[in-house]
């Protein structure tokens, strides 16, 4: 529900008790009007000879006060004094009863005064009234203090409430009189809220658009109020964010360049070191001896460091926002053979048989050859490094249909629990000790998975039929 609608409903709900209270106040005002009119009429009657008659004979005093002009039903052609109110006749005269200063009447026909009237008059009020049931109808009685009276210190006047003041047309006119200004107020509130909500909506739309465009400048607002200040606050915040993003991007660029340069500088002597170690191992084997455990371990560690450095360089490239694959034609068969050959010497040193099979015809794909070869190398390295002596690793590339392919790397080394398979592609995730190292970055399978996603491929990890791990890359057409 929109803000404007919610505020309108809230205002309407809040206006209901307001209208009811106004109607209640208007009804009380009518009673106050009747009370004042009756008090004036009683005081006019109870003076001169009437008051003297009451003082002389309080036990027999009784009087009927003529109808007040307020009691007439205007415009209906009714004559005063024709009969009781409400039966189509004119207003009924009010009966007066006299009471002494002790609030007791000597006339036995006088009703007993209500305590609330007595208390109200004692509080130094000249008149007090209350609604009563008058012969099954709504009526009222008013107690009026008579100046100069002794035996007739107070006079009680009783009669039904005039029908004109209780009639539906009268109440309807009164309700409309209060309702129209209320509706006008609600309309003004609704229009004002509409203008406010439209400005808030426009500001929200502008801020969202700015967030999607690296917090670009917001459109200006010619207003001069709190919303304009809020827009300016968003504008200032956007400038600060852009400044921080620029500083962060510059720092990341320097770091990535440093990492790329360092990786390149380290890979050169590392490659030379690997060559020397391989030559020493070959000389040892040619002389009829076996490679020592130290030499084998040194070769294994050098391969691991090389893979780690290449992964760090590729991770920096991927994290740096270069997520669009380079569209060049890549022979996936030749790339697979090259990645397998690179790890064959390492596999031989660990006593692991590494084989591959590729189609005779070139299998061409579009993508980034460097990142694809690194992804395939990571999977092969993982299968060799975490296998056991005497194990096997098979790399199989098959063409599926005209444009599809499946590249599969299967080993018979220690398996991976089913609940861990989905987590192997997470960065820095460590599985059980059978297929993990005590140190390292844990980037290999994560980078392979990211490269697959970059090229629109699917990477699957399942338990191989031999109990090890099977990792496959599949094109959408496969």
DSSP string over 383-415? HHHTSPTT-EEEEEEEEETTTEEEEEEEE-SS-
pLDDT of 52 = 87
Helix (H) or strand (E) holding 331: strand 328-331
**Cα–Cα dist 300/444, whole Å:** 16
Write down the pTM of the prediction: 0.47
Q: With beta carbons less than 8 A apart as the criterion, state whether 132 and 161 touch.
A: no
Q: Strand, helix or coil at 95?
A: strand
Helix (H) or strand (E) holding 263: helix 226-286
Identify the CATH assignment for 215-323 out of 1.10.287, 3.30.70, 1.25.40, 1.10.3470. Answer: 1.10.287
**Cα–Cα dist 218/207, whole Å:** 7
pLDDT of 348 = 86
Per-residue pLDDT of the chain (478 residues; tens, 9 = 90+): 455 566 667 666 666 666 666 655 556 666 677 777 788 888 888 878 888 889 888 888 877 776 655 444 443 333 333 333 333 344 556 778 899 989 999 988 888 999 988 988 888 678 888 888 766 777 778 888 988 888 898 998 887 766 545 544 445 555 566 666 777 776 777 676 777 777 788 888 888 888 888 778 888 877 777 878 888 888 888 888 888 888 887 887 777 777 666 775 676 677 677 677 777 777 776 776 656 666 767 777 777 777 777 777 777 777 765 545 567 899 999 999 999 998 888 888 888 999 999 999 999 999 988 889 889 999 998 899 889 889 999 999 999 988 899 999 999 988 888 888 888 888 766 555 445 443 344 678 888 999 999 999 999 999 988 889 999 999 998 7
Q: Strand, helix or coil at 154?
A: strand
**Cα–Cα dist 353/200, whole Å:** 69
Q: Tell me how far CA of residue 265 lies from CA of 86, 270, 316, 444, in angstroms.
A: 111, 9, 16, 21
Q: Tell me how far CA of residue 448 lies from CA of 42, 411, 463, in angstroms.
A: 105, 17, 18
Pairing status of strand 353-357 against strand 392-400 = parallel
DSSP 182-248: HHHHHHHHHHHHHHHHHHHHHHHHHHHHHHHTTSPPPPP----SHHHHHHHHHHHHHHHHHHHHHHH
Question: What's the CATH architecture for 324-478?
Answer: 2-Layer Sandwich (3.30)
pLDDT of 242 = 85
Q: With beta carbons less than 8 A apart as the criterion, state whether 40 and 200 touch.
A: no
């Amino acid at each position: 529900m929109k803000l404007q609608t919610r505020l309108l409903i809230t205002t309407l709900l809040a206006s209901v008790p307001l209208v009811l209270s106004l109607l209640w106040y208007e009804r009380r005002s009518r009673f106050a009007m009747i009370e004042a009119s009756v008090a004036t009429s009683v005081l006019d009657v109870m003076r001169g000879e009437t008051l003297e008659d009451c003082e002389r004979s309080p036990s027999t005093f009784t009087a009927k006060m003529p109808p007040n002009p307020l009691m007439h039903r205007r415009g209906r052609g009714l004559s005063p004094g024709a009969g009781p109110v409400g039966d189509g006749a004119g207003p009924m005269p009010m009966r007066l009863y006299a009471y002494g200063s002790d609030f007791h009447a000597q006339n036995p026909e006088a009703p007993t005064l209500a305590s609330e009237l007595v208390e109200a008059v004692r509080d130094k009020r000249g008149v007090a009234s209350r609604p009563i049931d008058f012969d099954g109808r709504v009526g009222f009685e008013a107690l009026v203090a008579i100046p100069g009276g002794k035996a007739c210190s107070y006079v009680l006047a009783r009669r039904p409430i005039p029908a004109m003041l209780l009639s539906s047309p009268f109440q309807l006119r009164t309700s409309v009189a209060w309702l129209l200004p209320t509706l006008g107020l609600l309309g003004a509130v609704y229009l004002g809220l509409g203008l406010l909500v439209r400005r808030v909506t426009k500001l929200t739309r502008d801020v969202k658009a700015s967030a999607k465009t690296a917090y670009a400048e917001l459109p200006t607002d010619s207003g001069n109020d709190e919303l304009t200040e809020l827009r300016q606050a968003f504008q200032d915040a956007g400038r600060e964010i852009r400044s921080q993003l620029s500083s962060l991007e510059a720092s990341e660029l320097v770091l990535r360049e440093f990492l790329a340069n360092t990786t390149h500088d380290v890979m050169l002597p590392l490659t030379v070191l690997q060559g020397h170690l391989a030559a020493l191992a070959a000389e040892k084997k040619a002389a009829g001896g076996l490679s020592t455990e130290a030499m084998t371990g040194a070769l294994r560690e050098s391969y691991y460091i090389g893979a780690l450095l290449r992964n760090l360089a590729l991770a920096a490239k991927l994290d740096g926002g270069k997520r669009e694959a380079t569209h060049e034609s890549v022979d996936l068969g030749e790339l697979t053979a090259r990645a397998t050959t690179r790890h064959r010497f390492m596999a031989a040193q660990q006593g692991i048989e590494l084989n591959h099979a590729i189609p005779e015809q070139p299998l061409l794909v579009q993508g980034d050859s460097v990142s694809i070869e690194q992804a395939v190398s990571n999977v092969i390295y993982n299968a060799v490094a975490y296998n056991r002596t005497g194990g096997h690793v098979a790399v199989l590339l098959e063409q599926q249909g005209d444009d599809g392919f499946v590249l599969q790397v299967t080993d018979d080394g220690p398996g991976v629990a089913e609940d861990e398979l989905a987590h192997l592609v997470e960065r820095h995730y460590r599985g059980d000790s059978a297929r993990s190292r005590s140190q390292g970055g844990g980037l290999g399978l994560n980078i392979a998975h990211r490269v697959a996603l970059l090229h629109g491929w699917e990477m699957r990890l399942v338990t191989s039929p031999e109990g090890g791990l099977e990792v496959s890359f599949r094109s959408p057409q496969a």
